A and B are shown apart, each in its own frame.
Chain A
Amino acid sequence: GNSVTQMEGPVTLSEEAFLTINCTYTATGYPSLFWYVQYPGEGLQLLLKATKADDKGSNKGFEATYRKETTSFHLEKGSVQVSDSAVYFCALHKAAGNKLTFGGGTRVLVKP
């Protein structure tokens, strides 16, 4: 079946540091890929998505490129802020419908 694997956290960074969170997936065919963010006490919010190979999703300074050859969708941000502290989830959906399969989440803590 479909599955998503992402790096375990927590990831602790200083403000303005470069952030990378690795995400790889297992699925037949061409799933759509997503990054969701969960701030403390809040629900999941869609951060960015990509629906086909080589697509780059971007939002709020975050980027991720859909790499079919390595089945990856790594999340990057060039300069993090304290406000980026959250849990980040990589997810996919495949086949009919908008049901999502999530990775385990990566907690990011940005210190001033």
Chain B
Amino acid sequence: DAGVTQSPTHLIKTRGQQVTLRCSPKSGHDTVSWYQQALGQGPQFIFQYYEEEERQRGNFPDRFSGHQFPNYSSELNVNALLLGDSALYLCASSLGYREDEKLFFGSGTQLSVL
């Protein structure tokens, strides 16, 4: 049973560019959440997708957008990249979004913005 898979593993971009990160949830899961983990800090919630809609969003600018596909996989898009967007981006999946639903995390995509 595959867990949460993210691609690519590493990515290098230049300021001002756009990037797309991808996530496949654990088999049977229908909810995907994205987190940003800056170096030496804890993950911060970006947004969550369920039934192909963004149902909850953290304190991130509109440059951060996402999408969920009918097969429950998800993309995170970041436009107009800034140096400060350099971070590990983590995807987590769950079966629904109730409080007691356990989150399963992927290994992340390391984004470096030069």
Interface residues of A (CB under 8 A from B): 4, 32, 41-46, 51, 89, 91, 93, 96-105
A89 touches B48 (CB 8 A): no
Q: What are 23 of the A-B contact pairs (CB < 8 Å)?
A: A4-B42, A43-B4, A43-B90, A43-B107, A44-B105, A46-B102, A89-B42, A89-B43, A96-B99, A97-B55, A98-B94, A98-B98, A98-B99, A98-B100, A98-B103, A99-B33, A99-B45, A99-B58, A100-B43, A101-B45, A102-B44, A104-B41, A104-B42
Chain B residues near A101 (CB, 8 Å)?
A: 45
A97 touches B99 (CB 8 A): yes
Main secondary structure of the interface of A (DSSP, over half): loop
Chain A residues near B100 (CB, 8 Å)?
A: 51, 98
- Quote the shortest CB–CB distance from A106 to chain B (angstroms): 10
Beta-carbon nearest neighbor of A4 in chain B: B42
Number of interface residues of B (CB under 8 A): 27
Main secondary structure of the interface of B (DSSP, over half): loop
> Complex formed: what's the CA distance from A108 to B98 in Å?
32
Q: What does the 1/0 interface line of B85-114 toward A look like (CB < 8 Å)?
A: 000001010100111111101111000000
A97 touches B105 (CB 8 A): no
Of B4, B41, B45, B108, the residue contacting A100 (CB under 8 A) is B45
Decide: A100 near B97, CB < 8 A? Known: A43-B90, A105-B40: no
> Complex formed: what's the CA distance from A104 to B40 in Å?
7
Beta-carbon nearest neighbor of B31 in chain A: A98
- Quote the shortest CB–CB distance from B111 to chain A (angstroms): 15
- Quote the shortest CB–CB distance from A9 to chain B (angstroms): 10
B42 touches A103 (CB 8 A): yes
A100 touches B107 (CB 8 A): no
> Complex formed: what's the CA distance from A104 to B102 in Å?
21
Chain B residues near A4 (CB, 8 Å)?
A: 42
